[in-house]
Amino acid sequence: MSIDQEMEEILQLFFEESFEGLDTMESGLLTLDGGANRETINTIFRAAHSIKGGAGTFGFMEISGFTHSVETLLDEMRNGSRGVTPDALQVLLQAVDVIREMVQSAQAKRPIVMVGAAALSSELLRILAQKGAPANSAPAGAVPNAEAAAGAPAALGDPPASGLPKSDKPDGAVGTAVDGTPPVGTLEGWRIVFEPDSSLFKTCNDPMRIFDELANLGPLEVEVNTAKLPHFGELDPTQCFLSWTLLLRCAAEHARVAEVFDWVDANSKIVYEPIYGAAVPAGVPSRPIAELAPAGGPRPMTAAEVPAAQASAPKSGGESGSLRVATEKVDALINLVGELVITQSMLGRFAEKYEPQDIESLRRSLAQLTRNTRELQESVLQIRMLPIGFSFNRFPRLVHDLSRKLGKKVDLKLSGENTELDKTVLEKISDPLVHLVRNALDHGLESPEARLAAGKSDTGTLELNAFHEGGSIVIEVKDDGAGLNKERILAKARERGLVDADAQLSDDNIYNLIFVAGFSTADTISDVSGRGVGMDVVRRNINDLGGHVQILSAPGRGSTIRIRLPLTLAILEGQMLRVGKEIYVASLVSIIETVQSKREDLSCVAGRTELFKHRSDFLPIIRLYDLFGIEPDSRDITDGLLVVLEAEGRRVAMLVDELLAQQQVVIKSLETNFKQVPGLAGATIHGDGTVALILDVPGLVRTFLERQSMQVGRAA
Amino acid sequence: MTDHELTVNGPTAQKSADEGGSRQYLSFFLGGQEYATDILRVQEIKGWDTVTRVPYSPNYILGVINLRGAIVPVVDPRVRFALEKAPFDSATVVIVVRVAGARGERIVGLVVDAVSDVYSFSDEDIRPPPDAVGSVDQMFVLGLAKLEDKLLIVLDIERLIISSVLGDSKAA
């Protein structure tokens, strides 16, 4: 373990905590939307403060500098000197985005792009300056305006605060020394009186470092005051008796200077006194933040591009490297291991001296071992389980932004946030969920006018719900909008030749058409959705995770998209199937039902494709023995069982000899030592130590249908 | 192919040769003939147990076994070399070898009629194989080692496994 490595780990921890902090800030800010709450503001402030502190420690001065101005604004909200206005919240929300972007850049070891920050920090400064301004002087008013004018065009195409009412806030209490002093000329430097608390050294502060840091900003004159130094005999070297007067000749903003003293504790007295030249303010004061942007840096992002960049960023960030586990889970594990050790010693006793009458207690110990093992297995799996809230948390913001953009009123309801699922599943399901939510907002919910016309409340409801059901997790995205328009979907599908003109389709089949690649019924294409890309990806992602999607919809009352996923990728709820002498495992989720077929339900098309009439559908029959080259008990379909499987919206019937037990199986990779085999998802180990292969149902269906079409092609 | 040879025969082989010039070889029987392989490749030897057949595999891959939780493919060299197949009996064993492949180390089992002995000999003791023509297994033979009373065929086990197990997966 080199220091570099350790440093890297600490750094990663900082990134993770920062992202968490940003999430906290975001959700806090969104709650503030509904009304100011002191505790919430405090929470947001604390999150911002620790990000700033951490960023400063790791030398991400851009981040800590920018976060500082955010913090200043929050501080004023916190101490009540500033009201919570929607516009300020909007700016703060954007600031959260900007900080997140900066942290992401830092994590990816990219240069931190300051374009967004520069524009936004002038916005922040303008808001901050607003309250110091009102009656005092003309120049004070001129500064923010000039800043806003200079800063806004630089970046975000649509500065949201452009319509901000000027100085609608009365002059509040003075937060920091600087705010009360109206500037009378150009800022030339700072006179800082630094009288540290005697415990300065104990808090690991070295004044020399602080001064060095200040000297980096500009020429620094330091004057030391030794008046308080005690007699040499009474001098306690661990205490600080000195104070300093510093003269910094540099036009750095207050935040930049104060940042240097960030880590000096609150008992120390620090007075900042700006020194102004005679001249009238010449516009935008220099901002080190803006200068840090790389010279040939990327062009400013437009407002539309920013979310896109954010969406793709986490993937490249490699964030799945570590796992934060609740202490209780680890404690539970330790307890279980303790029990296991006890059981082991009980069993060990029998090896030393075994009397036939011990058989009963041997059995008991073995039963205990079985229980321990099962509990241990469950607990270990628990470690990978995270509440789905991690994924749901991003939706309040998404819905907030999107509903503004679309001009719809949406009430988002989240439930079941504490439902846990595997980390990998969670990560992979997040993007499809975003897609479904966007779709629901764009296509599902109607505009307020249309809703009123339909006799509904003008505010639509979007519900995200998660719960456990029989070994899987179910996630529902439910809206009370217009519902899917069956006729239009069908018409579009016929128009595009996806469905024969005279085909009769069940509701489910019609709804499933929206998962076909490139299918869209949207009349207009917006940048939110409507291009028909996505739903197919959604379904593929979910199928890859071993789950499936179901659509329920009622015209005028809304639609529900229901996703069913396995709780974990490591364990599969399996159904054992026997073909000849071989045993295979199929995922229980993919099995619709199993039937004993009758002769009259079977038919043959073109002498090749065998079909089984299942309810109203005709399903192609897969003879597994044929596909895998097994010697079966019987080749007669009516002798065996037909297992109706569903994958990617297609159903097939698979012929097997016998159904065996249902059981949870641990999925092992075939690829580690061997290779991927078509039609197989992996392998598992039976109780007797032998290996059973797990069927990859979607792959199997695909392979089968491909072979069919090849045969048909050859025959034609 | 040359890629594999480099990773497999390069550093490890060099190292063991440096340590005193002679290397240890594990010998085993296949269809009445005694073969030998570099013992450093061998992880363990285990008794024959049922394998689970894997569909779409070549006939010389008998299937997969469970090796303490890992799924390990088992190759039957007798089928690979078109040798006479001995019945599976109590002497039949699986030699578990580790091979460095393109995607990291892999563990593969090799069924043999019986394991025999461990011999030490240096690289000079291995003579190039006679240019017997047309033999399929020629490419897997490193050479012949002549001991006092017998002749051992030294197998290039990595090459055998790479071509048997990994060869087909190149496309994947």
For B56-81, what is each residue's pLDDT tens digit?
888 889 999 998 888 999 999 888 88
| pLDDT value at residue B73 | 93
pLDDT of B102-113, one tens digit each? Answer: 667 889 999 998
| pLDDT value at residue B63 | 92
Q: Kindly state whether residues A83 and A49 are assigned to the same domain.
A: yes
pLDDT of B32-53, one tens digit each? Answer: 888 999 999 899 999 888 889 9
Q: What percent of chain A has pLDDT over 70?
A: 79
Q: Do A677 and B55 touch (CB under 8 A)?
A: yes
Q: Do A675 and B172 touch (CB under 8 A)?
A: yes
pLDDT of A391-405, one tens digit each? Answer: 888 888 888 888 888
More confident residue, B109 or A285: B109
Residue-range definition of the domain harbouring residue A208: 187-276
Count of domains for chain A: 5
pLDDT of A200-255, one tens digit each? Answer: 777 777 777 788 878 877 778 788 877 777 777 777 777 777 888 888 877 777 77
The last residue of one of the domains, among A515, A535, A566, is A566
| pLDDT value at residue B170 | 38
Q: What percent of chain A has pLDDT over 90?
A: 7
Residue A261 lies in a domain: yes
Min CA distance, A668 vs chain B (Å)? 7
pLDDT range class, residue A315, cuts 50, 70, 90: very low
Other C-beta atoms closer than 10 Å to the C-beta of A256 total: 21
* CATH number, position A701: 2.40.50.180
The amino acid occupying position A330 is: V
CB-CB neighbors (< 8 A) of A582 in chain B: 52-53
Min CA distance, B56 vs chain A (Å)? 7
E strand map for chain B: 22-30, 33-38, 42-47, 61-67, 70-75, 93-101, 104-112, 114-122, 126-127, 141-146, 151-155
Q: Is the pLDDT of residue A259 over 60?
A: yes
Q: Kindly state whether residues A407 and A375 are assigned to the same domain.
A: no
| pLDDT value at residue B95 | 94
The reply to whether the predicted model has a pTM over 0.80 is no
Q: Do B55 and A690 touch (CB under 8 A)?
A: no
Q: Kindly state whether residues A507 and A541 are assigned to the same domain.
A: yes
Residue A376 lies in a domain: yes
The last residue of one of the domains, among A537, A566, A595, is A566
pLDDT of A13-24, one tens digit each? Answer: 888 888 888 888
Q: Kindly state whether residues A171 and A197 are assigned to the same domain.
A: no
Strand-pair category, A269-276 with B93-101: unpaired
Interface A:B, Cβ pairs < 8 A: 73
Q: Do B55 and A691 touch (CB under 8 A)?
A: no
Residue A320 lies in a domain: no
CA distance A252 to A658: 80
- Put simply, whether B101 touches A (Cβ < 8 Å) is no
Q: Kindly state whether residues A107 and A199 are assigned to the same domain.
A: no
Residue A307 lies in a domain: no
| pLDDT value at residue A516 | 74
pLDDT of A148-172, one tens digit each? Answer: 334 333 333 334 433 334 434 344 3
Write down the domain spans for chain B. Answer: 2-169
pLDDT of A637-696, one tens digit each? Answer: 888 899 998 876 778 899 999 999 888 888 888 888 888 888 888 899 887 888 999 998
- Put simply, whether B5 touches A (Cβ < 8 Å) is no
Minimal-distance CA residue of chain A relative to B169 = A675
Q: Do B54 and A672 touch (CB under 8 A)?
A: no
Q: Kindly state whether residues A240 and A209 are assigned to the same domain.
A: yes
CB-CB neighbors (< 8 A) of B71 in chain A: 668-670, 672-674, 682-683, 691
Closest CA to A539 of A646, A620, A419, A679: A646
pLDDT of A137-153, one tens digit each? Answer: 333 333 334 333 343 33
- Put simply, whether B49 touches A (Cβ < 8 Å) is yes
Contact A161, A88 (CB under 8 A): no
Residue A310 lies in a domain: no
The last residue of one of the domains, among A119, A142, A175, is A175
pLDDT of A431-488, one tens digit each? Answer: 888 888 888 888 888 888 888 888 888 888 999 999 887 667 889 999 988 888 888 8
Q: Kindly state whether residues A586 and A602 are assigned to the same domain.
A: yes
Closest CA to A556 of A691, A456, A441: A456
pLDDT of A582-606, one tens digit each? Answer: 999 998 888 989 998 888 888 877 6
Q: Is the pLDDT of residue A94 over 70?
A: yes
Burial (CB count <10 Å: 0-12, 13-18, 19+), residue A64: buried
Q: Do A691 and B66 touch (CB under 8 A)?
A: yes
Minimal-distance CA residue of chain A relative to B106 = A673
Q: Is the pLDDT of residue A298 over 50?
A: no
Contact A437, A412 (CB under 8 A): no
Min CA distance, B64 vs chain A (Å)? 7
CA distance B169 to B172: 5
pLDDT range class, residue B135, cuts 50, 70, 90: low
Q: Kindly state whether residues A583 and A664 are assigned to the same domain.
A: yes
Residue A269 lies in a domain: yes
Q: What is the average pLDDT value for chain A, to the nearest integer?
A: 76
Minimal-distance CA residue of chain B relative to A688 = B66
| pLDDT value at residue B94 | 94
Which CATH superfamily groups domain B2-169? CheA-289, Domain 4 (2.40.50.180)
Min CA distance, B21 vs chain A (Å)? 32
- Put simply, whether B106 touches A (Cβ < 8 Å) is yes
- Put simply, whether B44 touches A (Cβ < 8 Å) is no
Min CA distance, B49 vs chain A (Å)? 9
Q: Do B53 and A582 touch (CB under 8 A)?
A: yes
| pLDDT value at residue A686 | 84
Q: Kindly state whether residues A672 and A708 are assigned to the same domain.
A: yes
Q: What are A's interface residues with B at a Cβ cutoff of 8 A? A: 582, 627-630, 668-670, 672-680, 682-683, 685, 689-693
Q: Kindly state whether residues A398 and A467 are assigned to the same domain.
A: yes
Residue B55 has its nearest CB partner, among A676, A679, A692, at: A679
Residue B169 has its nearest CB partner, among A668, A675, A682, at: A675
| pLDDT value at residue B97 | 92
Q: Kindly state whether residues A27 and A56 are assigned to the same domain.
A: yes
Q: Kindly state whether residues A465 and A412 are assigned to the same domain.
A: yes
Contact A409, A459 (CB under 8 A): yes
Q: Name A413's Cβ contacts closer than 8 Å, sequence gap at least 6.
A: A461, A462, A463, A464
**Region B13-42 average pLDDT:** 77
- Put simply, whether B151 touches A (Cβ < 8 Å) is no
| pLDDT value at residue A321 | 66
- Decide if the complex's ipTM is over 0.85: no
Q: Which of B48, B64, B74, B168 to mutate to test the interface with A (most CBs of A within 10 A)?
A: B64
